[in-house]
Chain A
Amino acid sequence: METIQLLLQGFSVALEPANLLVCAIGVIVGTLVGALPGIGPTGAIAMLLAATYKLGAESAIIMLAGIYYGTQYGGTVTSVLMGVPGESSSVVTTLDGYQLAKQGKAGKALGIAAVGSFIGGTISVIGLMLVGPNLAQLALIFGPAEYFALMMLAFSLVTAFTGKSMVRGFIALCVGLLLSMVGQDVMTGVPRFTFDNVTLLDGIDFLPIGVGLFGLAEAIESFESGQRRSFVKADLNWRKVMPCWQDIRETFMPMLRGTFLGFLAGTLPGVGATMASFLSYGVEQRVSKTPEKFGKGALAGVAGPETANNAVTGAAFIPMLSLGIPAGASSALLLGALLMFGLQPGPTLFQDAPAVVWGLIASMYIGNLMLVIINMAFIPGIVKVMEKIQPYLATVVLLLAVLGVYSFRSSTTDIVIMLLAGLVGYGMKKVQIPSAPVILGLLLGGMAEISLRQALTISKGSLLIFVEKPVAAGFLVVAILSIALATLTLKGKGKALRSEDVEG
Chain B
Amino acid sequence: VISTKGKAVFIGGPEFVTGIILWAIVGTVIYTTAGMAVMEADLTPGPRFLPLVVAVILSLLTILYWREAWKNREQGIQFPGINQLARPAAFFGIALLIVLLWDFLGAMPVVLLVSFLEIKFLEKHSWQHSLLVAVILCAFIYGIFEGVLGISLPQGIF
Bind each other: yes
CB pair B57 A174 closer than 8 Å: yes
Whether A394 touches B118, Cβ cut-off 8 Å, given contacts A171-B65, A221-B88, A456-B44, is: yes
CB pair B137 A223 closer than 8 Å: no
CB pair A178 B29 closer than 8 Å: yes
**What is the bound-complex CA distance between A51 and B153, given in angstroms?**
12
CB pair B65 A167 closer than 8 Å: yes
Contacts of A216 in B (CB 8 A): 95
The interface size of chain B toward A, counting residues with CB under 8 Å, comes to 62
**What is the bound-complex CA distance between A452 and B91, given in angstroms?**
43
**What is the bound-complex CA distance between A27 and B50, given in angstroms?**
41
CB pair A412 B145 closer than 8 Å: no
CB pair A461 B39 closer than 8 Å: yes
Contacts of B44 in A (CB 8 A): 453, 456-457, 460-461
The interface size of chain A toward B, counting residues with CB under 8 Å, comes to 58
Interface residues of B in 101-135 (CB under 8 A from A): 102-103, 107, 111, 114-115, 118-119, 122-123, 125, 133
Contacts of B87 in A (CB 8 A): 223-224, 226
- Pick the residue among A51, A167, A423 that contacts B61 (CB under 8 A): A167
Q: Is A396 an interface residue (CB 8 A)?
A: yes
Q: Is A36 an interface residue (CB 8 A)?
A: no
- Pick the residue among B55, B58, B77, B144 that contacts A51 (CB under 8 A): B144
**What is the bound-complex CA distance between A20 and B77, given in angstroms?**
48
Q: Is A142 an interface residue (CB 8 A)?
A: no
CB pair A430 B119 closer than 8 Å: no
**What is the bound-complex CA distance between A258 and B90, given in angstroms?**
44
Main secondary structure of the interface of A (DSSP, over half): helix
Q: Is A205 an interface residue (CB 8 A)?
A: no
CB pair A192 B45 closer than 8 Å: no
Interface residues of A in 147-194 (CB under 8 A from B): 165, 167-168, 170-171, 174-175, 177-178, 181, 185, 187-188, 190, 192-193
CB pair A419 B99 closer than 8 Å: yes
- Pick the residue among B15, B32, B45, B99 that contacts A453 (CB under 8 A): B45
Interface stretch among A64-72, A339-347, A353-361, A399-407?
A399-407
Q: Is B82 an interface residue (CB 8 A)?
A: no
CB pair B15 A431 closer than 8 Å: yes
Interface residues of B in 4-24 (CB under 8 A from A): 14-15, 18, 22
CB pair A165 B137 closer than 8 Å: no
A61 to chain B, nearest CB (A): 16
B1 to chain A, nearest CB (A): 17
CB pair A399 B141 closer than 8 Å: yes
**What is the bound-complex CA distance between A279 and B123, given in angstroms?**
39
Q: Is A333 an interface residue (CB 8 A)?
A: no
Contacts of B137 in A (CB 8 A): 392, 395-396, 399
Interface residues of B in 27-67 (CB under 8 A from A): 28-29, 32-33, 36, 39, 42-47, 49-51, 54-55, 57-58, 61-62, 64-65
Contacts of B32 in A (CB 8 A): 192-193, 195
B45 to chain A, nearest CB (A): 5
CB pair B99 A407 closer than 8 Å: no
**What is the bound-complex CA distance between A402 and B144, given in angstroms?**
14
A81 to chain B, nearest CB (A): 22
Interface residues of A in 230-271 (CB under 8 A from B): none
- Pick the residue among B22, B77, B123, B153 that contacts A392 (CB under 8 A): B123
Q: Is A477 an interface residue (CB 8 A)?
A: no
Query: Per-position contact with A for B58-98: 1 when CB-CB < 8 Å, else 0?
Result: 10011011001000000001001000100110111001101
Nearest CB in chain A to that of B151: its residue:
A407
B146 to chain A, nearest CB (A): 10
Whether A460 touches B36, Cβ cut-off 8 Å, given contacts A175-B25, A188-B47, is: no
Contacts of B151 in A (CB 8 A): 54, 403, 407
Q: Is A49 an interface residue (CB 8 A)?
A: no
Nearest CB in chain B to that of A501: its residue:
B74
Contacts of A224 in B (CB 8 A): 80, 84, 87-88
Contacts A181-B50, A192-B47 aside, 14 further interface pairs with beta carbons under 8 A come to A54-B151, A171-B58, A188-B46, A192-B36, A220-B88, A224-B88, A391-B125, A392-B133, A395-B123, A399-B115, A406-B107, A419-B98, A431-B14, A456-B43
Interchain residue pairs with CB less than 8 A apart (18)? A51-B149, A55-B149, A165-B68, A174-B58, A192-B51, A193-B28, A224-B80, A395-B114, A395-B118, A399-B111, A399-B114, A412-B103, A419-B99, A426-B88, A453-B44, A453-B45, A456-B44, A460-B43
